[in-house]
Amino acid sequence: MLQMLQKQLYLFTIYIIIRLFQCKNILRRQRERQMSKKRIRWGILGLVLGLAVAFPAGGKLKAAMTVVEVKKTGQVVDEFQGVNAVYRPGKWDGNDKTYSCAALVKKYYQARYGFTPYNLFSGATPEEYEKGGKFKKVSSPKVGDIASAGTHWAIVQNVSGNNVTLLEQNWKWQEKGRTYAKADRVVSKGEMKYFRYYDKSGREVSNGSSPVASSTSKPRTLSINKTSLSVKTRATAALKATIGNKRSGDKLIFSSSNKKIATVSSKGVITGVKTGTCYVTVKVNGTSLSKKCKVKVSLGSRIIKLNASRLTLMKVKKYPLKGVIYNKRSKDKLKYKTSNKKIATVSSKGVVKKKKKGKATITAWIPGTSTKKTCKVTVK
């Protein structure tokens, strides 16, 4: 009897152990099914979020930024409504007004609306002084609004849901000695502040729909009156340039390829320095428009300059009269003579000495030429 009970207890124990293993396997499979459901739920949620980011409200795919290497000064990196964002290699100099973010904002409003926005400083509201209008801060940006983040300013060129695409300048960086810039940079709406322009009647005009004047919708043109010219040393010649479909704020910039041969003023006046050939370039600020004029400089007529045209000798017994020959030839030499040796004499080096009271004329001249210069001397 006892042996039978022991055998039954043994069999029961084995049965319990088997059932425990079976329960464990059942629980493990249930947990695996639950984990699979969670994974599916999280996967679906991730897919939904991904689609929400990729396809924001409005149904337009978020634009990818374009990275461009800046290789030359004045390179156009981005363009919107006929206004170019131009760059130059290297780090931005705070004194460089041409390639600043604020300069681009001004250029855009000059081109599109015929006025210049000012007060583009950190934390400030843009202002306009030409047409009597006013900028106001807005929460929902539109195309053509001014965008601001600290000291950085830009133009809104597209709005898609929560994404704002910018036209901007100087969003660049250095990498291994090279300069890179981003075009069509996309930011979240909340990253920037936005300002819209209203005219003096309160009408909203800065929505990028159309320019203020029809002439500003036409592209600028640049023309010069001469593509080549000749000028003598120490003489001048005028180069005239004209901007077609000119915007407010457009300026002509003149430069010489070799200032040792010829210089050019801000008004286009070219001065010959020494014989040779160079080029004068005319540009319109903030654009890629440019024209070149070939300048040939030849030797001009001789000119004598003296350090005095009149002298009065009283207590001083002598005076060094110094002469310089401009447009000098290789064999030219300067000589001096007096009209009256009894009143004043002059040495071969131009030193004038008084003799007695009276008047005389000292002449500096170049032998073999008609070039001369005089100095009137009074001895007291």
For residue 337, is pLDDT > 60? Answer: yes
d(CA 313, CA 333) in angstroms, rounded, equals: 27
372: domain CATH number is 2.60.40.1080
Which residue, chain included where needed, has tokens 């124990």? 13
Structure confidence by residue, pLDDT tens digits, 278-288: 999 999 987 88
For residue 366, is pLDDT > 60? Answer: yes
For residue 8, is pLDDT > 90? Answer: no
Region 292-314 average pLDDT: 94
**By C-alpha distance, which of 329, 313, 315, 314 is closest to 362?**
313
**β 310-313/372-379 pair status:** parallel
What 3-state class would DSSP assign to 6?
Answer: helix
Half-sphere exposure of 306 (CA within 13 A, CB side): 24
Mean pLDDT computed over every residue of the chain: 82
Q: Which residue has the higher pLDDT, 277 or 169?
A: 277
Q: Is residue 342 part of a domain?
A: yes
Structure confidence by residue, pLDDT tens digits, 121-179: 888 999 988 888 899 999 999 999 999 998 899 999 899 999 999 988 876 677 777 88
For residue 1, is pLDDT > 90? Answer: no
Domain boundary among 184, 217, 250: 217
Structure-block tokens of residue 88: 């130059």
d(CA 262, CA 295) in angstroms, rounded, equals: 8
For residue 87, is pLDDT > 90? Answer: no
166: domain CATH number is 3.90.1720
Domain boundary among 194, 217, 240: 217
293 & 316 share domain: no
In this structure, is the dihedral angle defined by the CA atoms of residues 308, 314, 316 and 318, taken in order, positive or negative? positive
For residue 258, is pLDDT > 50? Answer: yes
87 & 199 share domain: yes
266 & 236 share domain: yes
283 & 341 share domain: no
Q: Is residue 352 part of a domain?
A: yes
93 & 193 share domain: yes
Confirm if 336 and 361 have CB atoms less than 8 A apart.
no
- Count Cβ atoms below 10 Å from residue 81 Cβ, excluding itself: 17
Q: Which residue has the higher pLDDT, 11 or 49?
A: 11
Q: Encode burial over 174-186: b for 16+ CB neighbours within 10 A, e otherwise.
A: eeeeebbbbbbbb
What 3-state class would DSSP assign to 139?
Answer: coil
Question: Which DSSP helix (H) or strand (E) runs through 29?
Answer: helix 2-54
- Going by C-beta distance under 8 Å and a sequence separation of 6 or more, which residues neighbour residue 311? 319, 321, 352, 362, 375, 376, 377, 378
Q: How would residue 10 be classed by pLDDT, with cut points 50, 70 and 90?
A: low
Confirm if 186 and 154 have CB atoms less than 8 A apart.
no
Structure-block tokens of residue 70: 């800046």
Q: Which residue has the higher pLDDT, 216 or 366?
A: 366
For residue 295, is pLDDT > 80? Answer: yes
Q: Is residue 140 part of a domain?
A: yes
For residue 105, is pLDDT > 70? Answer: yes
Q: What residue type is assigned to position 6 of the chain?
A: Q
pTM value? 0.43
- pLDDT at residue 39 in the model: 54
Domain boundary among 250, 273, 298: 298
What separation in angstroms does the CA of 27 have from each of 18, 24, 33, 276?
Answer: 14, 5, 10, 97
Structural domains counted in the chain: 3
d(CA 118, CA 246) in angstroms, rounded, equals: 20
For residue 96, is pLDDT > 70? Answer: no
- pLDDT at residue 47 in the model: 44
Angle at 284 between CA 278 and CA 285, to 5 degrees: 110
Region 205-221 average pLDDT: 58
205 & 72 share domain: yes
- Count Cβ atoms below 10 Å from residue 334 Cβ, excluding itself: 21
For residue 14, is pLDDT > 80? Answer: no
Which residue, chain included where needed, has tokens 């290699």? 89
Structure confidence by residue, pLDDT tens digits, 307-334: 999 999 998 889 999 999 999 998 999 9
Structure confidence by residue, pLDDT tens digits, 64-85: 567 878 788 778 878 888 888 8
Q: How would residue 42 be classed by pLDDT, with cut points 50, 70 and 90?
A: very low
- pLDDT at residue 56 in the model: 43
* Domain residue limits at 168: 66-217
91 & 207 share domain: yes
